[in-house]
Amino acid sequence: MVARTVDLRSDTVTKPTEAMRTAMANAEVDDDVLGYDPTARHLETEMARITGKDAALYVPSGTMGNLICVLTHCQIRGSEVILGDSCHIHIYENGGISTIGGVHPKTVKNNEDGTMDLNQIEAAIRDPRFEICYPTTRLICLENSHAHSGGRCLSPEYTDQVGELAKKHGLKLHIDGARIFNASAALGVPVHRLVQPADSVSICLSKGLGAPVGTVIVGSESFIARARILRKTLGGGMRQVGVLCAAALIALQENVGKLELDHKKAKTLAVGLDKIKGLKVDIDSIETNIVFCDILESANITGTKLCKILEGHGILVLPEGPFRIRLVLHHQISESDVQYTLSCIQQAVNGIPDKKDGK
C-alpha cells in the first residue's frame, strides 16, 4: 500500500474543498437553460466583471467553451481560423472546430514562448480577392498561458499587437484563457488587461483555480446571446447548474491568491530536477505551474518507465513523449510533496538518494 499520493498529472485533478462541498450543498438553484439559475448568474456576472467584458456564459468544459467561441465567430462553414501549431485547440480538442463546425484551421508556428510571429500571422490571412479558391479568414486564436510551451505567458503588449492586426483585417480575436489567472499572477497584470483586445475568452475554472467542473466564456452581449444557443445545440445546457457554479465561486474567492505559490513550487521542483544527473529542465522557461523535464540519454530510462516507477511511490506524472515528462503544480501540492517527489525521482533515475550535489 502506498501511504502517500502526489498527483502531478495536471492541475485538473484537484478535489473539491470542504468549503466548495458546503457551497454546493447549499446552492440556490433554478433552471439555467431557461436563464433563471441565480448562482449561475452570480458566477457569470462576476466573471464578466473580472474580465472587463459585457457578458459571460458557464459551459461544461474548456473544449466546449473554445468550440462555442470559434463557431460563434465563424458561422459560415468553410471559414478559416489562424492559430498556433501547438495550441490546445489545434492539438487536444479532437479537431472539433472542423468535424462539428466545418471551420478550417490555418496554423502558424508557435515560438518557444507561445507567441506566433506577427508577420507570419498577417501572411496567413487569406486574400479576399481570391475567395473563389481560398477559405475566408475570420478569426485569430491565442492561448494564454500557453500549455504546450510549458505555461509561458503572453504579455499584454503582444496581445494588443495581435488585436490591432485582427482589427486591421476585419477579423475577430479569441483567447483560450484556460489558465489566464496563472498568466495574470505570473505577470502581475490584471486579467481584464490581458484580455482587453479579445472579442471572446474562454476561462477554465477546473484547472489552477481548483473548481470541480466548468469553464466560463466571456464577450459582448450579442456574442453571448448567440453562444447560449450553441451551448444548447451542443448539449451543454444544464438545468440546476448552480450546484457546480457555487464551487466555482469559492474557487474564485479562495484559490486565485494561491496561484503565485503554485508557481513558486513549480520553480523549486524545476531547479531540483535540473540538479539530478541525467535530467534537464529549462529553468528560465518556468513562468507558471507547468514543468517539462527532459530525460537525457545518459539516464538510461524512458519517460514511461520513470512514470511507472514513480507510481509505485504514489507519485503520478504523465510522460510527454519517450524522453520527457510533464509535472503540473496546483494548490493541493505542498512543499513537502515537492521534496518527496524530487527524492523519489533522484532514486529512480540514479538509484541513490538525492545528495543535492548537482551534476
Average pLDDT over residues 278-307: 95
* pLDDT band at residue 356 under the 50/70/90 scheme: very low
Residue 208 has pLDDT above 50, yes or no: yes
The pairing of strands 318-319 and 324-328 is antiparallel
**pLDDT score recorded for residue 3:** 78
Dist CA 68 CA 75 (whole Å):
10
CB 285, CB 143: distance < 8 Å: no
> Up-side HSE of residue 219: CA atoms within 13 Å toward CB?
28
What is the tens place of the pLDDT at every residue in 246-279? 999 999 999 999 999 999 999 999 999 999 999 9
**pLDDT score recorded for residue 55:** 98
Residue 1 has pLDDT above 80, yes or no: no
Alpha helices in 52-87 (DSSP H): 62-73
CB 195, CB 52: distance < 8 Å: yes
What is the tens place of the pLDDT at every residue in 6-55? 999 999 999 999 999 999 999 999 999 999 999 999 999 999 999 999 99
Residues 6+ apart with CB under 8 A from 72: 200, 223, 226, 227, 230
CB 253, CB 206: distance < 8 Å: no
* pLDDT band at residue 65 under the 50/70/90 scheme: very high
Average pLDDT over residues 181-189: 98
